[in-house]
Chain A
Amino acid sequence: MIDFPILTLMSVLPLIGALFIFTIRGDEALVARNARFAALYTSLFVFALSVFMLGKYDPTGDAFQFVEKKEWLPSLGISYHMGVDGISVFFIVLSALLTPLCILASWESIKDRVKEYMIAFLALETFMIGTFCALDTVLFYVFFEGVLIPMFIIIGVWGGPRRVYSAFKFFLYTLLGSVLMLLALLALYAVVGTTDITVLLENPVARDLQMWLWLAFFASFAVKMPMWPVHTWLPDAHVEAPTAGSVILAGVLLKMGGYGFLRFSLPMFPLASAHFADMVFWLSVVAIIYTSLVALVQDDMKKLIAYSSVAHMGFVTLGIFTATVEGVQGGVFQMISHGIISAALFLSVGIIYDRLHTREISRYGGLVKNMPKYATVLMIFMLGSVGLPGTSGFVGEFLALLGAFKVNTAVAAFATTGIVLGAIYMLMLYRRVVFGPQDNEDAAAMPDMVPREIFIMVPLAVMVLLLGVFPNFIMNRVGPSAERVVALYQKGLEVQMIEPAAGEEVFP
């Protein structure tokens, strides 16, 4: 174990870095340069801390580790309570990994208001890491919702032509979902008398209440995830956000939804989860098939990847609500893998967007000739996204489908077609951008990746391959916690807390 509060340190350090950047004065070019370096060093240090934490994490434990607990709002019984388990630990590393990459990716593409940009990204990092560490519902909500502030500014200030519309849509959609969750948290507090997640996990509430609370949480997480049909904010936000914004959005923010399902919905409301599982399954299937079809006809690269994200998240919800160990493990693995792959795909789009300033697929073509290095890394990510065995994308989808087959064969069969569709649109994208004739002169004249870009992409590519070959590095750590979640779920199903009196059943 570590004898200093590493989780607090990781979540507070970015804010301190942001505060430091805030105090930088001087002429514009110098401020921009210093802000970039300060942000990079801060986020790299946080990443180093997160790797250190991962090294110290005990893979066999299923309880929360590195736990910190301090009084915060004692008169309401709310405490500052942080800790990680196998489910959250990798999301923290993922957040800490993607932030420096985002800062590097914005090194040259962001020239305007660099100082504010870096402050926003560091604040975002604080909220992301905090969300995955929080073991108190109110604390969780503070971090979960706090993400909206920097993200709104990032999309709105540095985004594309329709940035205002997208920023508002993102903000209000997410807020609408989250406020219902806030009420559900307060209702849990009123009934159980605590906001401590570890206690709430052990004390399931009555069936009727579970239904309502589950729905309120679902409103929040389904929007965040996003699930069909509340996914429409995502393509807009992705297309308009600057590259790094899309990376964080796809890489980490979407995972907050899945994380929430695993942390709250499944173990805390087992009866409701069982009741609504079929609905989630079919919504996931619709998401997988429908958004894959939509992705097929996109002309905009970012939009295509955005829709593919919705489809991939469909496998996650599918896996989680099978409530089997395989499904949950698959869901978590799929989220981490998608966090890397989709982030890398958005970064790839960013690389050619910086050169040609368009995301239209038809404006490119034959890039393999003038950008061979780019074509290589893009292929790795494309195949990862397709879910080819040997890449990380395969493991998660396979396990999620395995879990689904155990529970509901029809759903699994439909979902599997999504993999085929995924292969079609990704391969088509790759063919149209990388192969084919070099129709556009300006696209043909683009230089290959510069060292900075290679430095960003190679670690991600290596991880996609490594995790595809050695998934056990993640599985071993996720396993005990996944088993614990499923055990809590099973226990909750068996011990019917309070039987509703006849005629009182709200949810038959």
Chain B
Amino acid sequence: MSMFTWSSLTPVWPELFLALSAMLFLIVGVWRGNDGTLMLCRGAMGAFAVTAMFIMGLDWSVGQTLSGMFVMDQFAGFTKLMVLMGLIAAMALSMRYLYQEDMARFEYPVLVMFAGLGMMLMISAHNLLTMYVGMELQSFSLYVLAVIRHNHAKSAEAGMKYFVLGALASGLLLFGISLVYGYTGAIDFGVIGLQLAEASTPGTGLVVGLVFILVGMAFKVSAVPFHMWTPDVYEGAPTSVTALFAIVPKVAAMALLMRLLFDPFHAVLPEWQQVIWVLSLASMLVGAFAGIVQKNIKRLMAYSSIGNMGYALIGVAAGTVEGVGAVLAYMMIYMIMTAGTFGIILSMRIRGRACDDIEDLSGLSRTAPLLAWSLAFLMFSMSGIPPLAGFFGKLFIFQAAIEADMIVLAVLGILTSVVAAFYYLRIIKVMFFDEPTDNFDGDMGFALRAVIFMSILFVLFFILSPDILVETARSAATALFAG
């Protein structure tokens, strides 16, 4: 055991800062009550921004610290910045909605901050314990957020489902962890990795443990067949919480999944590759076909996210640096598109009432042309039509897949993208080809506008210099393989 030094805490500063500010906010919240919610929301955005600045100021090549419990590398830095960006966007989307729907409780920003802290711990985990603690911190905050409007039946139902299934997944994950510990005698990623590299063939018990861990992770990224909670939770949770669910946690979960697979379990790549292969294909199929019949736009986005995780998993299944780089770039593009889309969903209000049926968008191109064109571009982008950003996400993923010789997965995947294009087009059809029924309330507020605007700018102009993202994602991926 190495001696504790203060300098070993340096890479953890951002997390410490976020944790301390969350606790401070909690105290302020208890003291001020629900009157302080708006202030706390703004404060939370500020805290996320400061945390991001801390991360940018850090040395991204320190590697492990705190006796190997925690790792700070390019991969962690990149994904953490992504998560914080998403958190800021999600908070910006929430603020007005909290007041409109009369759910402006001070716990909201505090819970989002704790969830964010959990995600950052997940990303930097280098030990099965850190990983589990981070994941549970994140999950518990999210469970509570899902039921924050507990007097609404749907919200309560969503929270309940999310909690029960989430707890089950955590149980499976813990069981997997215990098996891995039992068969390797270690919980440190580095030690597990070394042991597996030395063993000629992995033991059956270890593989079973790995599969249980994968199941737990698949639940978090909502990969089929562990996706059942997603549509119900997306539909039932308050829309601002749905936006948060859609934008951020999957980035963290995907980052953790890749860290697990390419750091401790890299030696058993052939064992997990087939699992990811199946998860990926199943997710793409379900995401594409089940989305077709949806009438509620939040449910539709749930299936869309399932499908999109399927595409991201192709990159994981490729098992190469290019694949991981493609996943990171894909998640970034997907996150920004989702933020914009939810910005528009949150502005769907008719006479002060929030609505979330696709039919409510009828004739939007006449009543609110700018909003309609924005959503149209986002939908074209989601279906992967060039020259929009979404196309490049798919391009990177499929390029990595072909490079890694995963032809079957690539062909099936790209065919499902055509099926999925159908439901994205249907939204455009409703907005542009149908006659208007009702006007949306015009006033959306600055924050919503800003998020939508930035998302659209990204989607439209990503083509001008796509290399920045590819380059950064690639170097983050390289760091993961080096570690």
A residues within 8 Å of B by Cβ?
71-76, 113, 116, 138, 141-143, 145-146, 148-149, 152-153, 156-157, 163-164, 167-168, 171-172, 175-176, 179-180, 182-183, 186-187, 189-190
Can you report 20 residue pairs joining A to B where beta carbons are below 8 Å apart?
A73-B467, A75-B471, A76-B396, A116-B369, A141-B386, A142-B387, A143-B386, A146-B385, A153-B428, A156-B428, A157-B432, A164-B433, A167-B429, A168-B429, A172-B421, A176-B418, A180-B411, A182-B395, A187-B402, A189-B402
The answer for the CA separation of A183 and B414 in the assembled complex, in Å, is 8
Indicate which residue in A143, A156, A172 contacts B432 across the interface (CB closer than 8 Å). Answer: A156
The answer for the CA separation of A163 and B410 in the assembled complex, in Å, is 32
In the complex, the answer to whether B422 meets A168 with C-beta atoms within 8 Å is: yes
Indicate which residue in A113, A145, A163, A172 contacts B386 across the interface (CB closer than 8 Å). Answer: A145
Given contacts A142-B463, A146-B385, A152-B425, 12 further A-B contacts (CB under 8 A): A75-B471, A142-B387, A145-B391, A146-B387, A149-B380, A152-B428, A153-B376, A167-B429, A172-B418, A179-B414, A183-B414, A190-B399
* Of A71, A72, A152, most B-chain CB atoms within 10 Å: A152
Residues on A with beta carbons closer than 8 Å to the beta carbon of B386: 141-143, 145-146
Indicate which residue in A72, A138, A143 contacts B467 across the interface (CB closer than 8 Å). Answer: A72
The answer for the CA separation of A172 and B383 in the assembled complex, in Å, is 11
In the complex, the answer to whether B470 meets A73 with C-beta atoms within 8 Å is: yes
B317 to chain A, nearest CB (A): 16
Residues on A with beta carbons closer than 8 Å to the beta carbon of B387: 142-143, 146
Residues on B with beta carbons closer than 8 Å to the beta carbon of A116: 365, 369
Residues on B with beta carbons closer than 8 Å to the beta carbon of A143: 386-387
In the complex, the answer to whether A73 meets B415 with C-beta atoms within 8 Å is: no
**Closest Cβ neighbor of B396 among chain A residues:** A76
In the complex, the answer to whether A138 meets B385 with C-beta atoms within 8 Å is: no
Q: SS class of chain B's interface: helix, strand, loop or mixed?
A: helix
In the complex, the answer to whether B463 meets A157 with C-beta atoms within 8 Å is: no
A180 to chain B, nearest CB (A): 7
A302 to chain B, nearest CB (A): 20
The answer for the CA separation of A171 and B379 in the assembled complex, in Å, is 14
The answer for the CA separation of A379 and B249 in the assembled complex, in Å, is 66
Kindly state whether residue B398 has any CB partner on chain A within 8 Å. Answer: yes
The digit string for B430-471, where 1 denotes a CB below 8 A from any CB of A, is 001100000000000000000000000000000100110011
In the complex, the answer to whether A189 meets B399 with C-beta atoms within 8 Å is: yes
The size class of the interface chain B forms with chain A is 20 to 34
In the complex, the answer to whether B418 meets A76 with C-beta atoms within 8 Å is: no
The answer for the CA separation of A239 and B433 in the assembled complex, in Å, is 17
* Of B402, B463, B471, most A-chain CB atoms within 10 Å: B402
A77 to chain B, nearest CB (A): 10
Residues on A with beta carbons closer than 8 Å to the beta carbon of B421: 171-172, 175
In the complex, the answer to whether B418 meets A186 with C-beta atoms within 8 Å is: no
- Which residues 377-419 in B have Cβ within 8 Å of A in the complex? 380, 385-387, 391, 395-396, 398-399, 402-403, 407, 410-411, 414-415, 417-418
A87 to chain B, nearest CB (A): 23
Residues on B with beta carbons closer than 8 Å to the beta carbon of A148: 385
Kindly state whether residue B250 has any CB partner on chain A within 8 Å. Answer: no
In the complex, the answer to whether B395 meets A156 with C-beta atoms within 8 Å is: no
A253 to chain B, nearest CB (A): 15
The answer for the CA separation of A116 and B428 in the assembled complex, in Å, is 14
Given that A149-B385, A176-B418, A183-B410 are contacting pairs, would A73 and B466 also be in contact in the complex, using a CB cutoff of 8 Å?
yes
